[in-house]
Structure 1
Amino acid sequence: MSTTQKHIDFHVEAIRKDFPILNREVNGKPLIYFDNAATSQTPQQVIDVIVDYYSNYNANIHRGVHALSQEATDAYEQARIKIQKHFNAKHAHEIIYTSGTTHGINLVANSFSSLLKKGDEVIVSALEHHSNIVPWQMLCERTGATLKVIPMNTDGELILSEFERLLNANTKLVFVNHISNALGTINPIEAIIEKAHAVNAAVLVDGAQSCPHIRPDVQALDVDFYVCSAHKICGPTGVGMLYGKEEWLKKLPPYQGGGEMIAEVSFEKTTYADLPHKFEAGTPNVCGGIAFGAALDYMNAIGFDAIASYENELLEYATNQMLQIDGLKIYGTAKEKTSVISFNVGNIHPYDIGTILDKMGIALRTGHHCAQPIMDFYQIPGTIRASFMFYNTKEEIDTFIAALKKAVMMLS
């Protein structure tokens, strides 16, 4: 996010009232929730949609002729259209409901199995979450393709000159996250997509960490696949989306077999349903899909420009305060980053600091953040990660800094 942005009339105290969980205490202290990169909190407006669904029109969808089924189907498909418009997909059927980002990645990886062969190459980046490493390793093991890695520098940025060197006529797929969950680095995905397309490679972008902070335009990006999870965007767990260009989704075989994804079934042969149902086997998370749409409504009502500007202020404020602590080192100092700070203090184990901060009511994450290659690059066991959302405050950061200093003193 640009350091020149300033928020205007961002009423964080009014926004905080929408989140019931922010009123609770942990260990006798007011909750300070700085684990947003793992999952965001859910506003009452989305909770109300979930309660309304189960209270008034809970039913299986698409197959029922009765009123409840039709109401549920309409709400579920209207939510798909909301998702389509939010990401600016060309068609609603390019939006595939999934159980989350990991499901979307695995769907693409498994469907590509029939399209790759020995000698083909797949590229991932050094900044990936395990969910965007392991499925491609499994794909390469099945097909004989080779996995290659875009290296990173000590600031936590990808080395694009090395990416260009890796690209060649054998490159079939490129996979990269939009924002690093471990470091907060915003990757230059526009350039990555353009360079990959120059050698006719398809590109999947993991948007799990970007979608809470920015509003991706998949047509402007010209990306082939984009995945995200609702629970990072003030929605429920267990639901997400895969965007895929229509031509790719038609080309790929189904990932799972079952009900809903078929056109005709006999013991001799099965034909598959049209998009998007071809990739949506079984009874879906109906309530989750509807609530996903409601979460996007909520965040768009606040506005992503306002969210980005305010969160950037939080990032700058916290970074400046933290750098005053002796021995504190921040990992991930990219020029373009979002509101995530990964750090350690001296030789103190991250888990020990995290445990003490929890006793003070402060929730953050410790460990390798499912990004172990990044930790190996820095030769550390893990980090403490504080990640901010638009409902956090500078006052919370002040309390966090005081608690962190106390924890360091106790452990030194």
Structure 2
Amino acid sequence: MLVTLRSGCEATGKRPTERKSTPSYGAEPLKGDTMKYLTNEGYIENVEDVVRVDKILRFLIYIYIVISFYEAYINQLIGSYTKYYLLFIIVIYFSSYSKIKLEKYHLLIISWLIFKFASILWGSYNSIGSSNVSTQLLSQVGMVGFFLVMTIVKFEYSFVKKIIDISLYASVSMGFLSLFFSEAYLFAFESRQVLTLFGTQNDPNNMAAFFLVGISIALYYIIFEKEHIFRNCIFIVMNGFALSLTASRGGFVSLVVVIVLIVFVTNKRKLYFVDIMKKIILIVMIIVSLFIVLKQFLPVSIFDRLFSFDSYKGGSGREDLWTTAATLIEKKPFFGWGWGGYESGLHNTYLTMLCDVGIVGFSLFLLALFSICIRSIKFRMPLGIILLVTGLGPSFFIDAINKRFFWNALILAIMLLNSHKPHK
């Protein structure tokens, strides 16, 4: 078995009922609770349920995280084989589990996916070969499968923390490369610059979402962990500049939302005014530094696109698309038009979902999100909340239901909950 489930007895070397026992891997039982242990990495409830992952399987996930950022460029080099790598991970992880636990949000996501498949039957183009369905089918199944296999067990916090750190470094590496290898989007739009490798480019809005991951994690480490402050400030400025190069207004708005969230989210039982002011002062300093860098080095056309707020009104045609979506929803509000039952491309994940599966299907997905958010708040896990907003925020401006950054946000938020490292 590449993945092992250590029971309470195996972890301590003695019966769980003996409070004086010391776990062999450096954990200490919490006073008053024989089934909780305090490790050097935080609190873990029910140690018998914690999955300890073999190094090989850890490495497979670390590679996946890097691939999820650079997938467009990798596919250009070797072909569209990365989806098979994801399938391989799903199979090998799932086959290694000795037991699993389905939570409410798992059942809701599964129900949503089944409902989405069923909606093909009442779509105007109810064929599995319709362009909208056929291009998303495998990636949709793959991401939901990966979501399930990474969240139906409790992993050690050290494993989850490593995944988050690799996400940070992968995002920052893209930001660094963008400083030197950015070209006009589609080699024509000078006001939008994206990372160009091997003659391949990614959509500016997708790039902005990837850059935002690094900014959010670095901000968390500065504000909440007081960790590597100078280094993380550099990361924020560098990725902030790279995000600005894309001239993605959706990405820029999402960044503002993340910053506001960080000011008010807390890892304490109460939110104190002094803590808010400290956060505001630090974040203002970072924003001012970033603005100075942008003003000094950002091309004028890109700077004007981002900071000329009158241009936000039309949203690059989104206003018309969203008006069309509202009309579609009004005509078939409850069950939607079916997956593939209308012309896709609404540039909003949630409106697309409403058009696909209506209020009924959308409610299933929304309830799952609420469940994850409520648990993150309950256990005072600001990083989980920040990651959720980081992935879900940009999805208001693009169709992201089959995007890695969207599902990675959900997966990491739940993995943090499962590792159960709440702040005291």
TM range (shorter): under 0.3
Q: Could you say which structure has the greater relative contact order, defined with CA pairs below 8 angstroms and 6 or more residues apart?
A: 1
TM-score, normalised via structure 2 length: 0.25
TM-score, normalised via structure 1 length: 0.25
Higher share of residues assigned strand: 1
Higher share of residues assigned helix: 2
